[in-house]
Amino acid sequence: MVRLLCSGLLASLLFGACTGSRGNGYTEAPEGYAYKLLAIGDGRQCASETGAVVCEAVLRSGRDSIFFNSRYQAPGGFYIRLQGASAASGKQHLAGLTEGDSLSLMVGKTCFFREYFDTLVPYFLSQDSLVRLDLKILRVLRADTLPPAGTGIQEDRELEELKQIDDYLKQH
């Protein structure tokens, strides 16, 4: 009986160690972000023609300090364009969800600010390595109903400079 209990405990420890979990129930994606599904919705499914999602969002630093809450700072919702994103941003994971789904994403800070806000990492996050996004998908928007990316928005000089530096580093 003791042997059976010990072998069952050992098997559960081995299984738990091999799941690719980051801790606290997060699963690491091969692309470099981590995610955890919090709730399952029953709305419209995102599809390949999905261009963006509108979410309720709480953004936290790696040390769990809230720096953005869409309820107060974006009452219309946090708008996330899904097309043309890097795999490390976790946006492709959002494209596979439905309206009403809630999830938590952990994304590297540099990738996060480039992909979600099109800017540099702010000074108050310089000591952190990750940003945690707690999202609830409110609406799915089709790509053919969206304006072209960058319409009416002046390109950020700092971001353009970063892109040039990245291109230079890739070539040399």
pLDDT tens profile 125-161: 888 889 999 999 998 887 766 655 554 444 456 677 7
Q: In the beta sheet, which residues pair with residue 135?
A: 57, 103
Does residue 48 have a pLDDT over 60? no
Confidence of residue 8 (pLDDT cuts 50, 70, 90): very low
Average pLDDT, the chain: 77
Contact predicate 46/54, CB 8 Å: no
CB-CB neighbours of 55 under 10 Å: 23
CATH class in words for 44-145: alpha beta
More confident residue, 64 or 154: 64
- Tell me the C-alpha distance between 97 and 80, whole Å: 13
Most confident region among 9-13, 25-29, 46-50, 130-134 by mean pLDDT: 130-134
b/e sequence 84-104, b meaning 16+ C-beta within 10 Å: ebeebbbbbbbbebebebbbb
Q: Residue 102 has what pLDDT?
A: 93
Does residue 170 have a pLDDT over 70? yes
Confidence of residue 7 (pLDDT cuts 50, 70, 90): very low
